[in-house]
Amino acid sequence: MVLESFFLAARNLTHRRLRSLLTIIGIFIGIAAVVALVSIGAGLQIYMAGESEELGADKITVMATAGGMVTSPMASAISAKPLTEDDVDTVKRTPGVNLAGGMIIKSVQASFRGETKSTFLAGMPMDETKRMFENHYGNLEAGRSLKESDGKKVMIGNYFAREYFEKDVRLGDSIELEGSKLEVVGILKATGDRFDDSSVMTSMDVARDITGDKKLVSMVIAQVSEGVDMDDVRNKVEKRLRDKRGEKKGEETFNVQTSEQLAQSFSSIFGIVQGVIVGIAAISLLVGGVGIMNTMYTSVVERTGEIGIMKAVGAKNSDIRNVFLFEASLLGTIGGIVGIIIGAGLAKIAEIAIAQTVGSDMLKASFTPELIVGVLFFSFVVGATSGTLPAIQAASLKPVDALRYE
């Protein structure tokens, strides 16, 4: 009888196609939004985990804080107490640190073939720590990396090369930074980070000559010795920097993080944002659930006579209840299936659009079995829950009253 109730419910929905379609729309809009947002968020988290792995699990990053809040490589420019070369030396001398180096990042005026625009100049050390900073900015697309003997040579970000000026900047071209001419020897692959892709990279010495900044650094990257506990070294770096800078615990003007912590910080922040957005999308699911409930109540009223006939020929209350529950559940499930398809399509469109706009594969929508099954189950639950009260009302009708209803 359960199978018969299912087929009867499916037939009833097909007889009321327009109403069923309008009810399903209320469900799949919310489901599509949830699938698209969650899949994009999962893809970004996978990307950030890969970036953290590329930077290296044995790396510690030190950055100045602006107002005690968010840290970034540019924070030294606005921090009340920016990082300096003395801080780099302090990190180098910390037990457990194998290598450490500092980078300077400054805003400069870049000129190319008559155009002048603001960009960021990154000065990297040319010693054994150079590779750590090159990994931070990505891999080469063309040309070569910087050498210690290069002098006034630069590598440029992909966006700087392709989109920044009216004409593309190519290998061998000369650009001017604050009036100093530098030759382009390398073009980096797009990372998807517009800040990095718009930057110009050169040696620390050349960057200091251009900017006139002889002491400050914007960030410090340290490599921890093999076999040493990362958290222990991080705590030692914090303590030594506090002592050197005369700061109390909890009042630091700098932030020390491991690669894993950087990835976790991003995941936490993005998780909160994603949760808020998904919560807003869930409101449309609530509206869809109310739509299902309204449809089922209307159906009970319209089919009161039919319910009376079914009871008169021997249908049980549970049979009547099952028919209406199946109808509501089918509405929710079909809405979920359509929503998954549309949401996946929207996520892929966003992925392609970002790839073409930014020139990077940083956004890859991730559709896990857990996401698909979870969303489908949730849409089923929304439908079944919304149809419970109407189904109970239909089952509780007395045969005589139902047959007399007009």
Is 249 a member of any domain? no
Q: Are residues 115 and 46 in the same domain?
A: no
The token duo for 387 is: 């149809």
Is 245 a member of any domain? no
Q: Residue 75: what pLDDT?
A: 44
Handedness of CA 37, 40, 45, 48 (dihedral sign): negative
**Gap between the Cα atoms of 77 and 217, Å rounded:** 9
398 pLDDT band, cuts 50/70/90, is confident
Question: CA end-to-end span of the chain, whole Å?
Answer: 28
pLDDT at 126 over 70: yes
What average pLDDT score do residues 154-172 get? Answer: 90
Whole-Å CA distances, 246 to 65, 91, 249, 253: 16, 15, 10, 10
Question: 335 and 296 in contact (C-beta within 8 Å)?
Answer: no
Beta strands in 148-230 (DSSP E): 153-156, 174-177, 180-188, 200-203, 216-217, 219-224
- Taking the complete model, does pTM exceed 0.85, yes or no? no
Note the pLDDT tens digit of each residue in 229-249: 888 888 999 999 998 888 888
Q: Are residues 45 and 92 in the same domain?
A: no
357 pLDDT band, cuts 50/70/90, is low
Q: Are residues 277 and 375 in the same domain?
A: yes
Is 232 a member of any domain? no
**Gap between the Cα atoms of 364 and 377, Å rounded:** 24
Q: Are residues 82 and 27 in the same domain?
A: no
Residue found under tokens 């003007």 = 253
Q: Are residues 103 and 160 in the same domain?
A: yes
Q: Are residues 39 and 79 in the same domain?
A: no
**Gap between the Cα atoms of 33 and 48, Å rounded:** 22
Q: Are residues 19 and 71 in the same domain?
A: no
111 pLDDT band, cuts 50/70/90, is very high
User: Could you tell me the residue range of the domain that residue 379 belongs to?
Assistant: 2-51+264-404
Q: Residue 90: what pLDDT?
A: 92
Domain boundary among 197, 225, 253: 225
Is 231 a member of any domain? no
What average pLDDT score do residues 263-279 get? Answer: 72
Q: Which residue has the higher pLDDT, 254 or 280?
A: 254
pLDDT at 26 over 80: no
Q: Residue 182: what pLDDT?
A: 92
- In sequence order, which residues have a C-beta less than 8 Å from that of residue 361 and are 6 or more positions away? 192, 355
Is 341 a member of any domain? yes
Q: Are residues 290 and 366 in the same domain?
A: yes
Percent of the chain with pLDDT over 90: 11
Is 244 a member of any domain? no
Q: Are residues 389 and 300 in the same domain?
A: yes
Note the pLDDT tens digit of each residue in 291-314: 888 888 887 777 777 777 777 777
